[in-house]
Amino acid sequence: MLADAVVARPVPVASARIRPIATQDNGELSMKLAMIAAAALGVAATAAQAHDHKGGDKGCPAATPAAVEGLFKQFNDAWATKNPDTVTALFTKNPVLLATVSNKPRTTPAEVRDYFVGFLKSSPVGTIDTSTVEIDCKTASRLGTWTVTLTNPETGVKTPVKARYSFIYRYEDGAWKIDHLHSSAMPEKM
């Protein structure tokens, strides 16, 4: 069973708390402060409406939870090709890969590719168990738990590995790419 949660990050809107500094001229100061506060709230509300992760801001690409979830299918399909170049192409120019079965952080496309040269030999297949998606302007994240089934290339024995994952995506060169991927095996037996 897949448990999904979508978290929409609200854009902060300034809240004004007006406290009179001093009373003067039959409330003239209070009236001026109220007008300034109203103007400030109007500007903040306009900015909040302009910032829309669905593409409302000219600088923000369109993104939906379903689209972010689709990026995992693209990743899993790339694994199925067993081609490390196909998988590496899904990462940004400055990636971070903290893999379950490697002690070495991979922080260049060449290092990411090197990892997948060996890892893909085990025919990995990922299945999302739980998922939380967060979307911002040019970043999105999918966090949760997954099961990665590995097949021993010599014996054909399949081994499911239960793990936690974090996919952080960045919009780069007109496409959503994996900027950071962290996977770690569950510390407790399931």
Residue 62 is predicted with a pLDDT of 87
pLDDT bucket at 188, cuts 50 / 70 / 90:
confident
Nearest alpha carbon to residue 53 among 45, 44, 63: 63
Residue 155 pLDDT exceeds 50: yes
The dihedral built from the CA positions of residue 87, 132, 183 and 110, taken in this order, carries a sign that is positive
Residue-wise pLDDT for 134-154, tens only, equals 999 999 999 999 999 999 999
Residue 33 is predicted with a pLDDT of 34
166 and 77 together in one domain = yes
Q: Is 153 a domain residue?
A: yes
Residue-wise pLDDT for 22-51, tens only, equals 334 444 444 343 333 344 334 333 333 334
- Alpha-helical runs (H) found in the chain: 28-50, 65-81, 84-88, 109-119
Stated pTM of the model: 0.71
Residue 173 pLDDT exceeds 60: yes
Number of domains the chain is built from = 2
* Opening angle at CA 97, ends 71 and 121, nearest 5: 80
138 and 176 together in one domain = yes
Residue 24 is predicted with a pLDDT of 41
Residue-wise pLDDT for 63-121, tens only, equals 999 999 999 999 999 999 999 999 999 999 999 999 998 999 999 999 999 999 999 99
Nearest alpha carbon to residue 126 among 68, 168, 80, 60: 80
Q: Is 74 a domain residue?
A: yes
Are 151 and 82 in contact, with CB atoms under 8 Å apart? no
Residue 59 is predicted with a pLDDT of 82
Average pLDDT over residues 150-168: 97
119 and 180 together in one domain = yes
109 and 173 together in one domain = yes
Are 133 and 65 in contact, with CB atoms under 8 Å apart? yes
- Residues 53, 1: Cα–Cα separation, whole Å: 28
Residue 189 is predicted with a pLDDT of 79
More confident: 153 or 57: 153
* Mean pLDDT for all residues in the chain: 79
Q: Is 46 a domain residue?
A: yes
CA 49 → CA 10, 33, 56, 135, 151, distances in Å?
Answer: 11, 24, 8, 16, 49
Q: Which domain holds residue 111?
A: 65-185
Q: Which CATH number do you get for residue 77? A: 3.10.450.50
